[in-house]
Amino acid sequence: LMALGVFLGLSDQSATGTSGGLRVPALVAALLLVAQGFDMLLRTDTVNHRTVLGGAGELHRRNTALGRARTVQARTTAAGRRIESAVACGLLLLAVWLGLATLKYAEAPRFLGSLSLVASFLLFAFGWQVLTDSRKSRR
């Protein structure tokens, strides 16, 4: 994901004659893909040792990240689920905007168009996954 984001951002910046209607969503998508790639890298460095149910019913996960132990309380509030749904809807809207812009501006460089289309599919899939996961957690 990070490589796709970097290549999309570089091709976006080098496409000087392309309309801003494609360059803006492509740059936002590139930034999100790089951020998601960093997040995935940091999560692989974290090793989950165990999950414990606390006395009040809250879920605690004991992790070691970069050599330090910490306790993370799971988000079970309705506000957290609403935020996840809003983020998912934003990702879906960005994916649709990028996909439509890719199809509209066919005169854009081929590399930018191809990477934009792949990025729009990935963002849509990720947004859909977050949306369905937040709906499953409501049950």
pLDDT digits over 82-126, tens only?
A: 888 899 999 999 999 999 999 999 999 999 999 999 999 999 999
| Secondary structure percentages of the chain, helix, strand, coil, to 5 | 70, 15, 15
Q: What is the pTM of this model?
A: 0.72
Count of other CB atoms within 10 angstroms of residue 2: 15
Rounded Cα gap, residues 60 and 73, in angstroms: 5
| pLDDT, average across residues 123-131 | 93
pLDDT digits over 66-77, tens only?
A: 444 444 444 456
Rounded Cα gap, residues 5 and 84, in angstroms: 22
Strands 47-53 and 68-73: unpaired
Q: Looking at 8-17, 63-72, 123-132, which range is the least confident one?
A: 63-72
Rounded Cα gap, residues 49 and 62, in angstroms: 6
Query: What's the confidence (pLDDT) of residue 40?
Result: 87
Q: Where are the beta strands (DSSP E) in 2-100?
A: 47-53, 59-65, 68-73
Q: Taking 70 as the threshold, does the pLDDT of residue 46 lie above it? A: no
Query: What's the confidence (pLDDT) of residue 77?
Result: 66
